[in-house]
Amino acid sequence: MGSDKRLRAIVAGATGYSGQELVRLVLAHPQMELVGAFASRTFEDSPLAAVHPRLTGLTSLPCRKLDEKEIGRLQADVIFLAIPNESALELVPTLLETGAAIVDLSGAFRLQDPSLYPKYYGFEHTRPDLLQQSVYGVTEFAREELKGARLIANPGCYPTSILIPLRPLLDAGVILTDRAIICDSKSGVTGAGKGPSVTTHFAEVSENFRAYNVFHHRHTPEIAQGLHVPDNPSALIFTAHLLPINRGILSTIYVQLKPGTGRAEVLDIWRETFVHSPFVRVFEDAQLPEIKFVVNSPFVDIGLLVDEESGQAVIISALDNLLKGAASQALQNANLALGLAEGAGVETSF
């Protein structure tokens, strides 16, 4: 591709937290140009910088009302969707006809089994055919399928934090699966979106901490699917908690290693799996991952401790839910779909 030809990018849902990060990343991307920003609500035709004063002086683009015809006219190479699940389900079929690569940050195309949608998302899935076509984009596990992909289901923030460390270990067969894998995850508030509610009111969150959606979080079947384990509490327990911080997820994962597997073997598997993955950092020394090491960065950090005698392992992973858990992973995926270098425009985000 010629160096002065920039690819045309659109962000739909530009007013939310993930959308704002997408806008910021695309504006700084050396090979992309932001040609359109859309939102479903209230801010119609305001400058993006009025919606997000943080962008003052960085763009004069307006934020327009979401409209598929308008989007079609812009002849984008890539369309990022950071919109509600049902809006994405409705919009994607039409947008696919434009030929653009679509990176959908909602959950609308993440679960291969359509029967899970009524239970976990509250709607019947109308396009099970597209569920089969969509590429589930934990980038590090899907690079081949991502090349040239047109419909990419960008993973959930919690699932990314769990699949990155766990899946290589399950693939390598070093984890006992006759008891539940326990994923105790904690997330900052931006994971709940920007819509105001009592549960995101500062005075309800600050100096508080709580579990939510125990046994029923919609990320549970997504994690089970990614790990190839059954979606039931005998195999996998996922508990989400709300941290009084803006951004970041830390997952504490409890597994039983098979006899003969210790910390060194796990580190070997991770090192080998991620040797060409610049955004996965394996913590090999005593230091465990912490949220502050990854906030405002595209990295997911993974580390672990093992009780070598019993084989009990505690895995710790950390990422920024708006970046590796959303926008920067979306950019990794878009880059691969469009034939760019995976890290283009991603490195600059820290």
- Which residues within the stretch 298-327 sit at the binding site for a second copy (CB under 8 A)? 299, 301, 305, 307, 309-310, 312, 314, 316
Q: Rounded to whole angstroms, how far apart are CA atoms 276 and 201?
A: 41
Q: Contact at 8 Å (CB) between 224 and 230?
A: yes
What is the closest distance, in whole angstroms, from the C-beta atom of residue 52 to a second copy in the complex? 8
Is 180 a binder of a second copy (CB under 8 A)?
yes
- CB atoms inside a 10 Å sphere around CB 191: 23
Q: Which stretch binds a second copy (CB under 8 A): 68-76, 117-125, 127-135, 176-184?
A: 176-184
Min separation Cβ 274 and a second copy, Å? 11
> Is 40 a residue that touches a second copy (CB under 8 A)?
no
Segment lying near a second copy (by CB under 8 A), choices 4-12, 124-132, 180-188, 325-333: 180-188
Edge to edge, the sheet with strand 181-187 lists 210-212, 236-242, 181-187, 249-256, 312-319, 300-307, 280-282
CA atoms within 13 A on the CB side of 211: 10
CA dihedral (53, 58, 62, 63) positive or negative: negative
Q: Which is nearer to a second copy, 130 or 315 (CB)?
A: 315
**Member of 8, 127, 143, 241 binding a second copy (CB under 8 A):** 241
The whole-angstrom separation of Cα 327 and Cα 208 is: 27
Q: How far is the CB of 302 from a second copy (least distance, A)?
A: 11
According to CB under 8 A, which one of 6, 28, 74, 143 is a site residue for a second copy?
A: 28
Residue 204 makes contact with a second copy by CB under 8 A: yes
Contact between 75 and a second copy per CB under 8 A: no
In this chain, which stretch among 62-70, 75-83, 140-148, 189-197 interacts with a second copy, using CB under 8 A?
189-197
Instruction: Pick one of 92, 153, 229, 295: the residue that binds a second copy (CB under 8 A).
Output: 295
Q: How far is CA 237 from CA 129, 176, 224, 257, in A?
A: 29, 15, 10, 17
Q: From 264, 267, 257, 268, select the one nearest 312 (Cα to Cα).
A: 257
The token pair that represents 40 in the structure block: 């479903």
Q: DSSP secondary-structure letter at 6?
A: P
Active-site positions? Answer: 157
- When asked if residue 232 is in the footprint of a second copy (CB under 8 A), the reply is yes
The neighbour count for residue 88, using CB atoms within 10 Å, is 22
Q: What are 326's two structure tokens?
A: 């959303």
Count, residues near a second copy per rule CB under 8 A: 76
d(CA 259, CA 175): 9
Angle between helices 219-227 and 157-171 (to 10 degrees): 20
Q: Binding to a second copy by residue 133, rule CB under 8 A? A: no
Min. distance of Cβ 349 from a second copy in angstroms? 9
Using CB atoms within 10 A of its CB, is residue 56 exposed (0-12), middle (13-18) or buried (19+)? exposed
Among 33, 171, 184, 265, binds a second copy (CB under 8 A): 184
Q: Does 60 bind a second copy (CB under 8 A)?
A: no
Residues 271-290 that bind a second copy (CB under 8 A): 278, 281, 283, 285, 287-290
Say whether residue 243 binds a second copy (CB under 8 A): yes
Q: Which region, judged by CB under 8 A, interacts with a second copy, from 52-60, 62-70, 82-90, 263-271? A: 52-60
Region binding a second copy by CB under 8 A among candidate stretches 69-77, 136-144, 156-164, 177-185? 177-185
CA distances to 31, 185, 207, 328 from 335, rounded to whole Å, are 10, 29, 40, 10
- Does residue number 245 form part of the binding site for a second copy (CB under 8 A)? yes
Q: Does 94 bind a second copy (CB under 8 A)?
A: no
The yes or no reply on residue 297 touching a second copy (CB under 8 A) is yes
